[in-house]
A and B are shown apart, each in its own frame.
Chain A
Amino acid sequence: MNRIEKTFNRLAEKKEKALVGFVTAGDPTIEKSQEIIEAMCDSGIDILELGVPFSDPTADGPVIQRSSERSLANNTNLETVFKMTARLREKSDVPVVLFSYYNPIYRYGGRAFYRSAKDAGADGILIVDLPPEESAELTSCREEEDFPLIRLLAPTTPEDRIAAIAGSASGFLYLVSMTGVTGSSGLDTSSVSEFCSLVRSRTTLPLCVGFGISTAEHVKQIAAYADGVVIGSAFERLIEEHIDDSGLVQIIADKTREFKQATRL
């Protein structure tokens, strides 16, 4: 059983939902980013999504675009992300899902990617622009089954496609809350509820909901029907607002605790 599965089992016993936190690796600096992810894991995050920066993040809104730019200006690359993961592993058992666009991984090479990611202690990978239609090229490089490629479902995904994607998924399913880029406004929690029950009828995998979730109140509402809630742009917005603040790491830690509290039903 890998760390992701263990985490969901443990949370189910405690009647809690997973807080999934995303930050771009290497933002605002590589050292500070390391402190931030360690603080998030210490403060209650259940799964860390560690973002691999990409020059052309077409699924991301302005907040994560800017975080990617800052990270790339620090020369963050996939090797950096593996090193950060390995350092985190010395202190924490929180599952790490790498979050990337396909090109950095394609360029690194599928086989090398899986080997390095496993060695670093990562637990899964989510690739926003790699739909099931194109993913065999990567997954055929996987030597052990125990490293899920996290699948996404969108509000536009039709029912037969939901069934097909859920049927071949592992780890958990990432439900995109709305048609839009990351960090968009206009979250409609009632439509998310319907979306969750629709997917629930097709799978026993845990369901995590992300995109546009920015307040503890949102987290609480979504935690009522999902198994996990993903916060990304809200953390990145804090990093941006407090970029020169010596208390940045503490601010992120406090916010993590606030969000985590909202996942306890």
Chain B
Amino acid sequence: MNSKQTEHGPKVTGHPDERGHFRQYGGMYIAETLMPAVLELDRKRREILPDPAFQKELAGLLADYVGRPTPLFLAKRLSHYLNGAAIYLKREDLAHTGAHKINNTIGQCLLAKWMGKHRVIAETGAGQHGVATATAAALLGMECEVFMGVEDISRQAPNVKRMELLGATVTPVDSGSGTLKDAMNEALRHWVARVRDTFYVIGSVAGPHPYPVMVRDFQKIIGIETKEQIRSMTGRLPDILVACVGGGSNAMGLFYPFLDDPVEMFGVEAGGEGIDTGRHAATLGCGSVGVLHGSKSYVLQDRFGQISPVHSISAGLDYPGVGPEHSMLKDTGRVSYLAVDDRQALEAFHMLCELEGIIPALESSHAIAFAITEAPKRNKNEIMIINLSGRGDKDLGIVSCAPGKEKQE
């Protein structure tokens, strides 16, 4: 492979090191009470995940229960409308529970079960990770408690109901801004108290080592399938990959298997009400290096190291941190990160509904919004793949109240 992306610059695969460092990022910045649990988790995942019996059980569940492989779909009407690159959608919205989150929760809950743990906890923002954890816990006969900010509980109500139906306890978190960051704070506090019998299922490629590498490894099936599918459909690799980035798990899942290939990659962050308003969640675009929730990475913070309030119309992207591997990929220039704002995401949401008959999650709508501006600049023989990370049923309440709806009607 010779390409402008790979022949120069530092090597971006082969990370993290033994202690979870992606160059200067990652690591384990957590309270001593949790250190033994996290070190134990790292030992166990190295022992259990490669076990053929575990792999067989996981593959069976991903195929028969989650419904993998998810399709890769050529969005002809959208491509035609944009009159540029051919756009393919990786349909993670068609996975069981309606988002890519289930790939990781099935993996982690199965690992928990192999480790002899019967109780799992999770944090959730949009509720997709909470639903996916509650689902895996129900399937595997485990107790499940999900921490969710009060602001997110009100804007993602359908997912709260789903978690309850699945037998999970949803614990409201009213500290801070009542969003994803605060839910993660509370989950960590709860874990400190119950660490001996509880497995913490982190939903993104964030948190202390080994979570960033473990979650990436459970999500990389997205990219592995995509590579096979695009090769069999077109006989070649794609030119461009696009995914939204909050914590960054769907993006890492898609990007990782292509890191050594001559493929351009774009991570799309939440621009909120606009970067210049200060009300956004563009961590890689506007943040600086810091330590939050167990790892070193880019963080939105003030000059004294206090974490900044963030905003996005999409609860799943409304987070002031980002996975450490993304920070490395930003610094090395391997992936380009940029932001689209709430309004652009809403326009993209409506466009996909009307042109393709697919209701995307507001998170995924950010990736589509970037494609809408980028695809027309590209040749028609170029292939762009967007990770359609989730479906948008959960967002109907937000979308129907949002301004700009009339634009597409």
Contact residues of A with B, CB < 8 Å? Answer: 54-62, 65, 72, 77-79, 101-108, 128-131, 133-134, 151-158, 161, 165, 176, 179-181, 184
| Residues from chain A with Cβ under 8 Å of B28 in the complex | 131, 133-134
**Partner of B290 from A78, A103, A161 at Cβ < 8 Å:** A103
**Partner of A58 from B31, B36, B296, B303 at Cβ < 8 Å:** B31
| Residues from chain B with Cβ under 8 Å of A157 in the complex | 32, 35-36
**Partner of A56 from B31, B194, B307 at Cβ < 8 Å:** B307
| Residues from chain A with Cβ under 8 Å of B293 in the complex | 56, 58
Q: Is B27 an interface residue (CB 8 A)?
A: yes
User: What is the size category of the interface that chain B forms with chain A?
Assistant: 35 or more
A152 to B32, CA, bound (A): 6
Q: Is B306 an interface residue (CB 8 A)?
A: yes
Q: Which of B112-120, B130-138, B181-189, B353-361 contacts A (4 or more CB under 8 A)?
A: B181-189
Q: How far is the CB of B220 from chain A (nearest CB, A)?
A: 26
Q: How far is the CB of A132 from chain B (nearest CB, A)?
A: 9
Q: Is B268 an interface residue (CB 8 A)?
A: no
Q: Is the CB of B303 within 8 A of A179?
A: no
Q: How far is the CB of A27 from chain B (nearest CB, A)?
A: 15
Instruction: Give 5 A-B contacts (CB < 8 Å), ordered by A residue.
Output: A103-B292, A134-B29, A154-B36, A180-B33, A180-B192
A153 to B215, CA, bound (A): 29
Q: Is the CB of A154 within 8 A of B33?
A: yes
| Residues from chain B with Cβ under 8 Å of A105 in the complex | 305
A128 to B188, CA, bound (A): 13
Q: A102-B29, A179-B192 are known contacts; what are 6 more A-B pairs with Cβ within 8 Å?
A: A104-B304, A134-B28, A154-B33, A155-B33, A156-B32, A157-B36
Residue with the greatest number of chain B CB neighbours at <10 A, chosen from A55, A61, A78, A152: A55
A59 to B32, CA, bound (A): 10
Q: How far is the CB of B288 from chain A (nearest CB, A)?
A: 8
| Residues from chain A with Cβ under 8 Å of B29 in the complex | 102, 129-131, 134
Q: How far is the CB of B208 from chain A (nearest CB, A)?
A: 9
A148 to B262, CA, bound (A): 50
**Partner of B306 from A104, A158, A179, A181 at Cβ < 8 Å:** A104
Task: Decide yes or no: A55 and B36 within 8 Å by CB, A103-B292, A106-B291, A131-B30 being known contacts.
Answer: no
Q: How far is the CB of A233 from chain B (nearest CB, A)?
A: 13
Q: How far is the CB of A84 from chain B (nearest CB, A)?
A: 15
Q: Is the CB of B291 within 8 A of A176?
A: no
Q: Is the CB of B27 within 8 A of A133?
A: yes
| Residues from chain A with Cβ under 8 Å of B306 in the complex | 54-55, 72, 77, 104
Q: Is B301 an interface residue (CB 8 A)?
A: yes
Q: Is B175 an interface residue (CB 8 A)?
A: yes
Q: How far is the CB of B185 from chain A (nearest CB, A)?
A: 5
| Residues from chain B with Cβ under 8 Å of A104 in the complex | 304-306
A165 to B36, CA, bound (A): 13
Q: Nearest residue in B to A211 (C-beta to C-beta)?
A: B33
A113 to B207, CA, bound (A): 26
Q: Is the CB of B31 within 8 A of A154?
A: yes
**Partner of A181 from B193, B292, B294, B303 at Cβ < 8 Å:** B193
Q: Is the CB of A107 within 8 A of B193?
A: no
Q: Is the CB of B195 within 8 A of A179?
A: yes
State the 8 A-B residue pairs at the shortest beta-carbon distance, nearest first: A107-B305, A104-B305, A154-B33, A77-B304, A180-B193, A103-B305, A152-B32, A58-B188
Q: Is the CB of B304 within 8 A of A107?
A: yes
Q: Mark B44-87, 1 if CB is under 8 A from A, else 0.
A: 00000000000000000000000000000000000000000000
Q: Mark B292-321, 1 if CB is under 8 A from A, else 0.
A: 111010010101111100000000000000
Q: Is B37 an interface residue (CB 8 A)?
A: yes
| Residues from chain A with Cβ under 8 Å of B294 in the complex | 129
A161 to B304, CA, bound (A): 33
Q: How far is the CB of A135 from chain B (nearest CB, A)?
A: 10
Q: How far is the CB of B297 from chain A (nearest CB, A)?
A: 11
Q: Is the CB of B195 within 8 A of A156?
A: yes
Task: Decide yes or no: A107 and B181 within 8 Å by CB, A54-B306, A131-B32, A157-B36 being known contacts.
Answer: no
| Residues from chain A with Cβ under 8 Å of B36 in the complex | 154, 156-158, 161
| Residues from chain B with Cβ under 8 Å of A155 in the complex | 33
A180 to B35, CA, bound (A): 13
Q: Is the CB of A181 within 8 A of B307?
A: no
| Residues from chain B with Cβ under 8 Å of A58 in the complex | 31, 185, 188-189, 293
**Partner of A156 from B196, B291, B301 at Cβ < 8 Å:** B196
A152 to B34, CA, bound (A): 12
Q: How far is the CB of A103 from chain B (nearest CB, A)?
A: 4
Residues B14-43 near A (CB distance < 8 A): 19, 27-37
A106 to B36, CA, bound (A): 24
Q: Is B176 an interface residue (CB 8 A)?
A: yes
